[in-house]
């Protein structure tokens, strides 16, 4: 499977699958994730699972940030 094919398949993955993919990729590169960052990430994931309606689509967040910080 080519890189482009893999990228094309990403939207069909669930959020949990994409998160696993990112963690696996980081493990392959042997990137050390500080324990404090893992705790924060796990807390945020738990909050998101508990209240899925609190999420904002990425495109919406980009729009909000550009509006807020535009000069």
| CA 64 – CA 67 distance, rounded (Å) | 5
30: left (phi over 0), alpha (psi -120 to 50) or beta: left
* Contact predicate 45/19, CB 8 Å: yes
Spans of all domains in the chain: 3-69
Assessment of whether the complete model's pTM goes beyond 0.75: no
| CA 69 – CA 13 distance, rounded (Å) | 32
In tens, the pLDDT along 30-40 reads: 778 899 999 99
Q: For residues 15 and 71, which has the higher predicted lDDT (pLDDT)?
A: 15
| pLDDT reported for residue 28 | 86
| CA 63 – CA 48 distance, rounded (Å) | 21
């Amino acid at each position: 499977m080519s890189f482009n094919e893999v990228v094309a398949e990403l939207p069909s993955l669930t959020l949990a699958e994409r998160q696993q993919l990112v963690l696996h990729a980081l493990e392959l590169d042997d990137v050390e994730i500080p324990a404090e960052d893992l705790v924060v990430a796990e807390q945020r994931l738990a909050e998101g699972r508990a209240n899925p309606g609190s999420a904002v689509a990425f495109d919406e967040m980009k729009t909000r940030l550009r509006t807020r910080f535009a000069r």
